[in-house]
Amino acid sequence: MHYMKTLSGTAYRSIRQRLIEGKLPVGSRISEAALAREMGISRSPVREAIRTLANEGLLHQVPNVGCYVKEPDRRDLEELFELREWLEASAAEKAAREIDDFHLDELEQACTEMRSATVKMRDLTNAHPEETAVPFEIREQFEVADASFHMILIDSCGNRRATDFFANQHILSQIWKVAPFAGNFGYFARMYGEHAKIYRAIKRGDAHEARNAMIHHIRAGRFQALGFFDRARRERSAGYYTAVPWPTSIQKKVFGVEEKKGN
């Protein structure tokens, strides 16, 4: 039994990685036999992995037809952000009342990293106003700090189910390609400001303000993500959409939650 669980876990991670990298794009059909051949394992653990991914909402099984990579609609995204708002607003409120020094220091460090990346982006914009591309190292620093802030906040609540759920939502957002990244100084400054406001409210123990600041942040992200989703869907239909890869360092941060759970 342990052997089967190990194989199904390997199959699960392998298929999920293909989804994240876009090797199994939304709408594509999943071949259980082909995946088993590629991985060099039997079909049983692949079938189990597919069932798990379907339960998580990443795949869609059609009886007597087959299994497909789920293509989200606007309602899927709205529900995802609604869940995030409920979870993270409550987490911010609880953190303002109960957070320990360790997690508070980690939140501060995440904000410091976001501020550092924002300053770099400001200096780059001032020096080269015609440059529109964000250097990868700046984008990576900012996005890792952003993801870290939210995961530290959830982790500070000590609820393992909430931590697991939040990690899955990050993965789901990337697979659905609804994690927008606007490459300009204004975006950096706004995002840093929103996170800093949440952090300051938590630090001074203002639960009401921490909750409201998080709600504002999630709703702003929802508005931007829906716009990005609509634009990406139009570009996909026209055949010229190119997804921006998820930085490996962020994947490690998110997947590290699973490693912690296993220890």
Evaluate if residue 252 carries a pLDDT over 80: no
Spell out the residues 6+ positions from residue 188 whose beta carbon is closer than 8 angstroms to its own.
114, 117, 118, 121, 122, 142
For residue 62, report the phi and psi dihedrals to the nearest 5 degrees. Answer: -105, 115
Task: Report the Cα–Cα distance between both ends of the chain, in Å, rounded.
Answer: 20
pTM assigned to the model? 0.80
Domains and their CATH numbers in the chain:
2-69 (1.10.10.10), 74-262 (1.20.120.530)
**CB distance 244 to 228 below 8 Å:** no
Write out 24-81 in H/E/C secondary structure: CCCCCEECHHHHHHHHCCCHHHHHHHHHHHHHCCCEEEECCCEEEECCCCHHHHHHHH
244 vs 58, more confident? 58
* % pLDDT > 90, the chain: 44
pLDDT at residue 250, rounded to an integer? 61
The whole-number average pLDDT for the span 55-65 is 86
pLDDT at residue 99, rounded to an integer? 97
Cα angle vertex 220, ends 145, 96, to 5°?
60
Q: How far apart are CA 191 and CA 251, in angstroms?
A: 20
Reported confidence tier of residue 2, pLDDT bands at 50, 70, 90 = very low
Q: In what order do the strands lie in the sheet with 29-30?
A: 29-30, 66-69, 59-62
Q: How far apart are CA 253 and CA 159, in angstroms?
A: 18
Evaluate if residue 257 carries a pLDDT over 60: no
Q: What is the DSSP letter of 205?
A: T
Reported confidence tier of residue 213, pLDDT bands at 50, 70, 90 = very high
DSSP 125-185: HHH-TT--SPPHHHHHHHHHHHHHHHHHHHHHTT-HHHHHHHHHHHHHHHHTT------SH
pLDDT at residue 44, rounded to an integer? 92
